[in-house]
Structure 1
């Protein structure tokens, strides 16, 4: 089985990406950082409870363990230097970065020879305010991005990755509602 390390999978997208990697037949180790806000943290904790039950998903608390086929670093605005410093020689490494944060890490990633993948704006169950729902026009459903990225990373198509909308708005809304039903802890507190 192929293996991957996902460093900083500490938000909803990161865990969705891990799920899709596992669907592609990859054993996933995760080194966590910290969620950027309380709503995302609550979603993250609920989702993590489900994922840790999978035998192909493992949290790494201390030193990195094992020899990985691929390494993914999710950059969400803060990234310890160790994330780039621990990269093993001659291993494919990908830095997943949002466009508005690209300049923060571009130079360091290029020096380390890390391939950067720019993530589009996404929406998902953490968008609970009305203004979040209204600003989805240019955003992609989180599951679409995670699935396409996992497939691309494992298959490594020679063509550049271009994200496409695959889930209709109604279908995305239904999936978001299903996630909300599964995550009753958060919504019971509301």
Structure 2
């Protein structure tokens, strides 16, 4: 067999190795990009169907066992205006406050659960509702509270300095609707008063 034939075969082998190496490089780059996308989405994962709700969802997320899951995107302000009444929109999306002693749930004594009017997340139980005399529905704690742990509730606390002094705003963990404020003058061991707007709530009676 001639030297030219051997040289030709060596060239073909080298070319084959070059092609396979290039293919492996492209595949590695694709895997790296996919890994970056999924890892970037993972911290925004929201667990729906629980009181906690997770962080507000922003699109495709990494689901259980690495599978790609989907969830609802946050609604635009125009969409909330279509979904809510003017009063509900003013309070929940523009951080307004209903007039005192005007709310439909102020004197409600029926047993049940108070849900977010925007996303239906359970927020407060009637068992923790009490009469504070302030003019708004008041609760001693959020549904799902364990001692001082609120990680399994449907609410979040945020600093509010809109009136020139520091207050603690209460928002829905699922959709970030403004609900009201919490003050350190309530009953019970925690001494809290969740002062919540009726218009931000949807009451569901307990089934007997």
The structure whose Rg is larger is 2
**TM-score of the superposition, structure 2-length normalised?**
0.23
Higher relative contact order (CA 8 A, sep 6+): 1
TM-score when normalising by structure 1: 0.25
Q: Which has the higher helix share?
A: 1
